Structure 1
Amino acid sequence: MTINDSAEFRRIKVAAVQAEPAFLDLEGSTRIACDLIAEAGRNGADLIAFPENFVPSYPNWYETLSEGAKARDLDRRLFLNSVVLPGEHISTIADACRQAGVNAVVGINERRARTTGTTFNTQVHITRDGVIAGKHQKYVPTTGERQIQAPGTTGHHNSFETDFGIVSGLICGENSNPLGQYAAAVHYPVVHVASWPAYFGPGVTLQHAIQTASAGLAYSLKCFVLSAVLRLSDAYIEAVAATDADREYLEVQRAAKQGAMIFSPIGERIGDGTGSDERLVYADIDLGDVIIPKMVHDTAGHYNRPELFAPLFAPREG
């Protein structure tokens, strides 16, 4: 799959989410996702990007509750409220895309059908016609995610077609994975969706990570990047804080109002919702802006020598 040779490279409007889901509530988070899609449609958006595991919530509690009955209860609630593909709740979200006329990349915790304990960290690509174009499961769960989420089974695929061109997507830390980036680059995306949680653990600033990784990715792929982020709710803090110090830390993270960001194909920040209470950050973009940067650095084509690097992937003994 590569960009259509007859692509118009037209102007479109994009939206990146910075909002709270309904914590570990499949029905409630589905409703919020549909509301955001409808809002984006009313405001003329062609594409909406969701954060990591928006439906039904991202399992950050491994930062504060890695062990014990409370942590295991949250794990159980997550599994029971995760999304089955295909299934009722993703169909509801797809129908919202059709009604609003908006393409979407939706972050979900995906529950493998007919199992009792397997979930994946997944982005679902949905067209403005309400068709599920495909899904990308996170290649490798990061740190404590491994308690809950399995390694992805969707191969290297992370890019899918829309009416305006290819949209790629990666989840959280894998946005800095060079091979994940290359898997996107070979399909020539015009827009990339980077899905992020609400915060990282102590010592790592989410805003710095998002800005650094997303700007670098935009410059590398030579496409627009939408970085969508979760916001923390009262219900989340109440459920996850194990100590007063935990609660204080989480309140500081919430007060920071980490914002969604949008980057140009040369890595310039053209949208930033940091500090804003709005649930969506918008930008009007000209897809033709990808052409000149790609003519300079096409890492999937003329600006690469894959035959030189192929020996690095040969099987090694020992």
Structure 2
Amino acid sequence: MISSVLTVGLAQIAPIWLDRAATLAKMVDWVARAGREGCQLVAFGEALLPGYPFWVELTDGARFESALQKRFYAHYAEQAVRIERGDLAPLCAAARAAKCWVLLGVMEQPAARGHSVYCSMVWIDPQGEVRNVHRKLMPTFEERLVWATGDGAGLRTFDVGPFRAGGLNCWENWMPLPRAALQAQGEDLHVALWPGNVRNIIDLTRHIAREGRSFSLAVSGLMRRGDVPDHIPEAALLREVLPETSANGGSCIAGPDGQWLVEPVADVETLIVAQLDLARVREERQNFDPSGHYARPDVLRLEIDRRRQQVLIERD
């Protein structure tokens, strides 16, 4: 008999900020730790690899033709993840060794697509294969100064143990239609990736769980002034303008009744491990199943364009 229980891990850590190689090595260690603790899925925060662009709102990021902003962006683009180049190979190997799914937030720079970066959620399966790349549909506020807009190609769910899992990045978790798209694909385990602050997570995590009658996981990163490495551009300036804490975490888990299983955890690097039982989803869907008996497809339907948006389309 297949178990209805899944062991999950939320890896709430700080990056080696804006350093892809060093952050990647740290994440590999945490995947190994999750494997030792029996996790079948481990998730990391939004844009953790190589880090969230905290500098934008603190250094006059909207100033046009700013030499400072150009230097920041050039470094950010250089440190971005190129999946086709094999940048995630160490994490793929770690997932294979740990025999668990790895879900992480990266700044993705597609091959042969210029130097724009996308805030992407990457799914790596227990065989070490990259299964999905979801590019954030709409960057939020100042993020639009550094991130390109995504598309519907990655709005997908996957069988993870007994669950059907899906996920979204940060504020796109507030968007009703992407949530509905995942629910309609059978989602009963939702993973939300955040750069990290309790204030952004505390209300929405429980709402998503109650709305979908699903388990709702929120995983965040940390960012403290001391996490600025010496070797990145303008390190001294960044330490001067950044607050003591830019991201305080808040990783948490809500059950399908909307109640806390793990309340938000702040200000500490930690691996939160929990066991989730699919039976609880079935119990809560007795009276409400958003894409099942409570759906009205004769009245309301949702359409997804799954084409990867690109400038050049080649036809023979």
Is the structural similarity TM-score above 0.5? yes
SS in 2 for 1:108: strand
Alpha carbons 1:24, 1:56 under 8 Å: kept:
yes
- Whichever residue aligns with residue 268 of structure 2, its letter is D
Residues of 1 paired with 2:298 and 2:67: CA distance? Answer: 52
What aligned pairs does 1:22-101 form with structure 2 within 5 A after superposition? 22-65=16-59, 66=61, 67=63, 68-101=66-99
Give the CA RMSD over aligned residues: 2.5
Identity %: 26
Please name the residue that 1:290 is paired with: 281
Q: Please, what TM-score do these two structures have when normalized by structure 2?
A: 0.85
2:150 is matched with which residue? 152
Q: In the aligned structure 1, how far is the partner of 2:286 from the partner of 2:21? A: 46
- The question of 1:232 aligning with 2:226 is answered no
| Aligned pairs for 1:1-318 within 5 A | 8=2, 10-65=4-59, 66=61, 67=63, 68-155=66-153, 157-198=155-196, 206-233=197-224, 234-236=226-228, 239=235, 246-247=241-242, 250-253=243-246, 257-272=248-263, 274-275=265-266, 277-309=268-300
Residue 274 of structure 1, CA deviation: 2.3
What letter matches 2:49 in structure 1?
V
Closer/same/farther in 2, CA of residues 81 and 213 from structure 1, 3 Å limit: same
In structure 1, how many angstroms separate the alpha carbons of the residues matched to 2:159 and 2:236?
38
Contact 2:165 2:191 in 1 (8 A): yes
- Give the C-alpha shift of residue 71 in structure 1: 2.6
**2:4 and 2:299 mapped to 1: Cα distance?**
36
Aligned residue type for 1:35? D
- The verdict on how the C-alpha distance between 1:296 and 1:156 changes in structure 2, with shifts beyond 3 A counting, is farther
CA contact (8 A) 1:54 1:107 kept: yes
2: CA distance, partners of 1:182 / 1:98:
31
Higher relative helix content:
1
What is the TM-score of this pair, normalised by structure 1?
0.85
**Residue identity matched to 2:212:** L
Question: Across the two proteins, how many residue pairs are aligned to each other?
Answer: 295
Distance in 1 between residues matched to 2:13 and 2:280, nearest whole Å: 29
Alpha carbons of structure 1 residues 26 and 252: separation in structure 2 relative to 1, 3 Å: closer
Structure 1 unmatched ranges of 5 or more: 1-6, 199-205, 314-318
- Cα 1:307/1:236, change in 2 over 3 Å: farther
Q: 1:220 deviation in Å?
A: 1.2
Task: List alignment gaps of at least 5 residues for structure 2.
Answer: 305-316
Deviation, 1:286, is 1.1
Distance 1:189 1:241 in 2: 44
Amino acid across the alignment from 2:47: N
